[in-house]
């Protein structure tokens, strides 16, 4: 029986084993390769996507358990790379090899939605699960701070 | 080759010309990156109709200037986080006098026409700067000549700037000149050599922190890595891990249980004619998930091979045994008579230093896809050393090197892992056996346990001091030699006319002036047989500098001299340490200068420290003496003398980069290299057990995470000297600087990496 999920606003009916991790459905079935395989064990964060708005490790979500949910991947975070986190990532020149960055960005975006005005320690705690082998952490921290500021300014403008 | 590239592009539903293959590893300044070549902005007035018809002009094969004025730099180096293409484009742009927005980069596939293709050793900038500068200048000269001819004036009356040639009240864009077909001129090596390049100090774009061209693709999921490649008819392969890293044989393979997995196809037991793999068994399936599930159910009767008994202790014992034999090893440095001087000296200090096995573990696990088309084996996957990987893969496939092409991608981390081409072989042999394209993805455990890891090292140093100066130093290094595994042709010759792996001993040939200095490199064959070693970021200096710079501190302590003053006393820039133009001009005096800057910035010697805190210093030359990146690190730490727990209060790192091409790019590389050094110094470790690498994932092998990043102060000196590469140097000095700081703060001298609270506590007892 087909499993139905919505990915980046598009509904898909999938004929795949229900234990197949969401990661491999995204990458190998739906060709959404922006979501990366790093460890397969919830240890590196490279495969982070949003499930119903919350950051999850797609290597740990069986597709059967994602049935009916709404998934957002890096490809769907914004239409034009203009999400404040993406803008901040460019401004601070964060990516080096870039392989972990989809996961870093998705983690940061979900975190800032929940905590728009984070303390530095909260940023560190939120990003701790995302490994960056190139060691771009100084820039990651700065970019999350920068995105938070931009989102607050934007929010203030909208509200005001 | 071009035809086939187009075929592949078309088979993927892409358009003409460069197609998808073209922009997978290409990017353009001016904001159109990530949308392919069809939407390039017109930078001249020529329009697209002419752009489509006039051939681009190439003064050398490194650059192409097209009829719309777009300049594409063919980047022969791999992009793995260093933004090398951006720096290359800046170098070309400077001499070509093109507008930055017209600059684009294209990372090329393996082809003999590019010459030696290797990305490592922090060599990209220093080995390419001259050729790229001359290509840009040749382009400018040819464009000016074309305009001069068109207008019937002397070229001397014309100037080039921002992509236009102007003079005598006239002006024409580069694009229009190319479109007119008037830009000609082939440049011989001799002609190129005759060009006078701009002097440092007159640069417009070199020295500017431009936005890296690859970054926009890396924030929206469009950057394509090797692991993202897909082709029709492809099946997936998952490694069935042998019990040992090397030398195992699959006596029999039973895949009957795996046949129950939907999508599982079969197990494959493969022989590798290159000898890179023994016991190569793959689980083949329609999806990678089915291959993973199948692999878990495949039963293999293994012969674990001759190294099944080897562990860390056995490798240390072997290193010790070899070192004790004076006939073992190759002589690398022999200044004065160190052995004789030590025999006569009183108070000889001796210490043993060691490092364990270290893994690359790039975030993109090793992977490759192989497919056969039109008589050529095509391999898709990022690689750092095409010139060695193509012959290796050809040997495995039993075809001529001309029948193998490696297609380049963005690399999800290199760190030296992708200098070795072994990971193409499982996909290639499986594709050959099955007659269809195969993509083999190592899972994290496969990636770690089949790594061409950095060999464990065991080192012994002896020295003596007198009157505040070094009398003599001997330094013996025993380890597995990576070049024996990866690139035997890269072995050099030692002073005593033996083979020597410079990549196992670099860094021990310091820029200090020592009257008597003896360095010997010993080949630990047992280490090589157990875990075939590879090159890991900064390579030998990652362990030689750890031992040497820690021991220098021990000698300074014995001499009763401050460690910074002790070092400066030996950095006189005399004799062989005066340096040679262009790369090492200034020599040891530049090393002294970075040390002094680090002292000043860190507050070493002036800042009042709390009880239990201390400063430690270490200096180095980057990856190799001939192309030095003079580097200093000062660590400030606090140590709890009861528990041995310590914290890093600050790391101050200074480079002399000669000339910074992109200052922010240099800063990023310095941050990265510093944290890699920290990671190896404190957090990364595994063991060799029963001939296998023990770590299975990022819980057993634990690189630095964001919470472990200390305050960093990175800065560099850029005084117009020859530019050098910046990706590695800091990795070598962070460990010894921290070790020296801990010793200064607590008296605890730790002589093995990683430094842990338990080792600090034990060293204080």
What tokens appear for B39 in the block? 């939407």
Q: What is the mean pLDDT of residues A127-132?
A: 98
What tokens appear for A96 in the block? 């080096």
C-alpha span between B56 and B73 (Å, rounded): 12
Same domain, A103 and A136: yes
Residue B684 in contact with partner chain A when CB distance is under 8 A: no
Domains and CATH numbers, chain B: 2-218 (3.30.365.10), 226-306+366-441 (3.30.365.10), 313-358+453-764 (3.30.365.10)
Same domain, A64 and A114: no
Q: Are A35 and B413 in contact (CB < 8 Å)? A: no
Residue A159 pLDDT: 47
| Pick from A155, A92, A65, A13: nearest CA to B668 | A92
Compute how many other C-beta atoms are within 10 angstroms of the C-beta atom of residue B468: 13
Chain B hits for A48, Cβ within 8 Å: none
What is the pTM (predicted TM-score) of this model?
0.94
Same domain, A7 and A63: yes
Alpha helix segments (H runs only) across B370-475: 386-397, 425-434, 444-449
C-alpha span between B617 and B600 (Å, rounded): 12
Same domain, A66 and A48: yes
Show the CA angle centred on residue A119, arms to residues A118 and A122, nearest 5°: 80
- The residue among A37, A52, A76 that closes a domain is A76
Residue B50 pLDDT: 42
Q: β-strands B438-441, B457-466: how paired?
A: unpaired
Residue B499 pLDDT: 97
* Through-space distance between the first and last CA atoms of chain B, rounded to whole angstroms: 66
Q: What is the mean pLDDT of residues A133-144?
A: 98
| Pick from B333, B571, B360, B355: nearest CA to B473 | B333
Q: For chain B, what is the mean pLDDT? A: 93
Question: pLDDT tens across A62-92, in order?
Answer: 999 999 999 999 999 999 999 999 999 999 9
Same domain, A70 and A102: no
Q: What is the mean pLDDT of residues A101-113?
A: 98
Same domain, A51 and A106: no
Same domain, A72 and A88: no
Same domain, A91 and A154: yes
Residue B25 pLDDT: 72
Chain B hits for A35, Cβ within 8 Å: 221
Range of the structural domain that residue A62 is part of: 3-76
A–B: how many Cβ contacts below 8 A? Answer: 175
- For B580, counting Cβ atoms within 10 Å of its Cβ (0-12 exposed, 13-18 middle, 19+ buried), the class is exposed
The residue whose two tokens read 């933004």 is B83
Chain B hits for A128, Cβ within 8 Å: 705-707
Q: Are A96 and B672 in contact (CB < 8 Å)? A: yes
> Which residue of B218, B674, B698 is in closest CB contact with A95?
B218
Q: Are B364 and A36 in contact (CB < 8 Å)? A: yes
C-alpha span between B575 and B573 (Å, rounded): 7
Cα→Cα distances B110→B24, B92, B391, B403, Å: 15, 22, 11, 11
Residue A153 pLDDT: 85
Chain A hits for B216, Cβ within 8 Å: 81, 90
Residues 6+ apart with CB under 8 A from B180: B54, B146, B150
Q: What 8-state DSSP symbol labels residue B347?
A: S
Same domain, A88 and A124: yes
Q: Are B364 and A132 in contact (CB < 8 Å)? A: no
Same domain, A118 and A70: no
C-alpha span between B380 and B368 (Å, rounded): 6
Same domain, A35 and A88: no
Compute how many other C-beta atoms are within 10 angstroms of the C-beta atom of residue B628: 26
**Do the Cβ atoms of B158 and B167 come closer than 8 Å?**
yes
The residue whose two tokens read 């990043």 is B709
C-alpha span between A6 and B249 (Å, rounded): 46
- The residue among A52, A76, A100 that closes a domain is A76
Q: Are B671 and A40 in contact (CB < 8 Å)? A: no
Q: Are B363 and A17 in contact (CB < 8 Å)? A: no
C-alpha span between B130 and B128 (Å, rounded): 6
Interface test with B, best of A96, A104, A106, A124 (most B CBs within 10 A): A96
**Do the Cβ atoms of B226 and B368 come closer than 8 Å?**
yes
C-alpha span between A5 and B382 (Å, rounded): 33
Residue B30 pLDDT: 59
Residue B710 pLDDT: 98
- The residue among A76, A98, A123 that closes a domain is A76
Domain count, chain A: 2
Residue B4 pLDDT: 25
Specify the CATH number for the domain of residue A103: 1.10.150.120
Same domain, A20 and A69: yes
Residue B725 in contact with partner chain A when CB distance is under 8 A: no
Q: What 8-state DSSP symbol labels residue B512?
A: S
Which residues in chain B land under pLDDT 50? 1-23, 31-52
Q: Are A131 and B363 in contact (CB < 8 Å)? A: yes
Specify the CATH number for the domain of residue A51: 3.10.20.30
- For B547, counting Cβ atoms within 10 Å of its Cβ (0-12 exposed, 13-18 middle, 19+ buried), the class is buried
Residue B5 pLDDT: 27
CA B46 to chain centre: 41
Q: What 8-state DSSP symbol labels residue B40?
A: P
**Do the Cβ atoms of A14 and A22 come closer than 8 Å?**
no
């Amino acid at each position: 029986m087909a499993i139905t999920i919505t990915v980046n606003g598009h509904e898909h009916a999938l004929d795949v084993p229900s234990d197949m991790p969401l990661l491999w459905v995204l990458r190998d079935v739906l060709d959404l390769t922006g979501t990366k395989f790093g460890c397969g064990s919830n240890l590196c964060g490279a495969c982070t996507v949003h499930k119903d708005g919350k950051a999850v490790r797609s290597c740990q979500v069986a597709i059967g358990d994602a049935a009916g949910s709404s998934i957002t991947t890096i490809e769907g975070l914004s239409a034009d790379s203009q999400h404040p986190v993406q803008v901040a990532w460019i401004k601070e020149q964060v990516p080096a090899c870039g392989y972990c960055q989809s996961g870093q960005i998705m983690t940061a975006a979900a975190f800032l939605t929940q905590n728009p005005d984070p303390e530095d320690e909260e940023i560190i705690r939120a990003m701790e699960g995302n490994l960056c082998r190139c060691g771009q952490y100084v820039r990651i921290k700065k970019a999350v701070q920068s995105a938070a500021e931009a989102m607050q300014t934007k929010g203030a403008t909208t509200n005001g | 080759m071009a035809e086939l590239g187009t075929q592949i592009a078309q088979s993927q539903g892409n358009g003409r010309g460069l197609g998808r293959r073209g922009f997978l590893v290409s990017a353009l300044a001016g904001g159109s990156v990530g949308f392919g070549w069809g939407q390039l902005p017109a930078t001249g007035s020529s329009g697209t109709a002419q752009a489509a018809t006039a051939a681009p002009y190439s003064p050398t094969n490194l650059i192409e200037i097209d009829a719309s004025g777009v300049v594409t730099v063919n980047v022969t180096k791999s992009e793995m986080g260093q933004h090398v293409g951006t720096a290359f484009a800046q170098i070309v742009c400077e001499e070509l006098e093109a507008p930055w927005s017209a600059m684009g980069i294209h990372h090329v596939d393996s082809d003999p026409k590019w010459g030696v293709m290797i990305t490592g050793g922090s060599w990209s900038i220093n080995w390419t700067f001259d050729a790229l500068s001359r290509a840009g200048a040749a382009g400018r000269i040819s464009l000016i000549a074309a305009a001069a001819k068109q207008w019937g004036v002397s070229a001397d009356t014309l100037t080039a700037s921002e992509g236009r040639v102007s003079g005598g009240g006239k002006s024409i864009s580069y694009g229009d000149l190319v479109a007119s077909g008037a830009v000609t001129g082939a440049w011989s090596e001799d002609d190129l050599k005759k060009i006078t390049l701009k002097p440092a100090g007159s640069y417009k774009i070199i020295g500017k922190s431009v936005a890296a061209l690859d970054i926009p693709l890396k924030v929206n999921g469009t950057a394509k890595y090797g692991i993202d490649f897909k082709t029709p008819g492809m099946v997936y392969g998952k490694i069935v891990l042998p019990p040992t890293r090397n030398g195992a044989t699959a006596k029999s393979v039973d895949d009957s249980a795996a046949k129950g997995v939907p999508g599982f196809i079969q197990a494959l037991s493969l022989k590798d004619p290159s000898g890179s793999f023994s016991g190569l068994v793959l689980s083949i399936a329609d999806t990678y998930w089915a291959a993973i599930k199948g692999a878990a159910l495949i039963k293999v009767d293994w012969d674990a091979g001759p190294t099944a008994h080897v562990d860390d202790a056995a490798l240390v014992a072997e290193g010790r045994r070899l070192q004790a034999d004076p006939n073992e090893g190759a002589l690398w440095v022999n200044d004065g008579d160190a052995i004789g001087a030590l025999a006569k000296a009183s108070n000889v200090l001796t210490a043993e230093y060691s490092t364990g096995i270290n893994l690359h573990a790039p975030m993109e696990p090793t992977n490759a896809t192989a497919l056969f088309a039109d008589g050529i084996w095509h391999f898709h996957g990022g690689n750092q050393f095409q010139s060695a990987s193509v012959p290796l893969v050809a040997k495995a496939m039993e075809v001529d090197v001309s029948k193998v092409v490696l297609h380049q991608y963005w690399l999800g981390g290199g760190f030296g892992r992708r200098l070795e081409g072994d990971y193409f072989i499982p996909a290639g042999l499986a594709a050959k056996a099955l007659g269809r394209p195969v993509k083999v993805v190592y899972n994290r455990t496969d990636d770690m346990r089949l790594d061409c890891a950095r060999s464990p090292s065991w080192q012994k140093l002896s020295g003596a001091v007198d009157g505040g100066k070094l009398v003599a130093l001997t330094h013996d290094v025993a380890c597995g030699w990576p070049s024996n595994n990866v690139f035997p042709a890269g072995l050099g010759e030692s002073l005593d006319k033996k083979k020597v792996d410079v990549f196992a001993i670099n860094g021990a040939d310091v820029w200090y002036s020592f009257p008597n200095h003896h360095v010997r490199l010993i080949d630990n064959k047992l280490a090589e047989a157990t875990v075939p070693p590879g090159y890991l970021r900064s390579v030998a200096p990652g362990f030689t500098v750890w031992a040497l710079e820690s021991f220098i501190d021990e000698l300074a302590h014995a001499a009763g001299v401050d460690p910074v003053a002790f070092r400066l006393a030996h950095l006189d820039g005399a004799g062989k340490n005066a340096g040679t133009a262009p790369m090492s001009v200034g020599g040891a005096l530049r090393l002294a200068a970075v040390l002094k800057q680090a002292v000043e910035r860190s507050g070493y010697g002036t800042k009042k420290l709390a009880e239990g805190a201390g400063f430690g210093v270490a200096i180095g030359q980057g990856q190799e003496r001939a192309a030095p990146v003079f580097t200093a690190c000062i660590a400030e730490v606090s140590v709890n003398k009861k528990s041995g727990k310590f914290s890093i209060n600050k790391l101050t790192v200074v480079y002399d980069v000669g000339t910074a091409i992109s200052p922010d790019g240099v800063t990023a590389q310095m941050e990265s290299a510093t944290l890699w050094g920290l990671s190896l110094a404190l957090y990364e470790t595994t063991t060799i057990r029963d001939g296998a690498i023990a770590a299975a994932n990022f819980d057993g092998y634990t690189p630095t995470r964001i919470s472990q990043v200390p305050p960093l102060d990175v800065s560099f000196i850029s005084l117009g000297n020859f530019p050098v590469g910046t990706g590695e140097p800091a990795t070598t000095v962070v460990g010894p600087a921290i070790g020296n700081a801990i010793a200064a703060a607590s008296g605890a001298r730790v002589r093995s990496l990683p430094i842990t609270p338990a080792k600090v506590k034990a060293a204080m007892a």
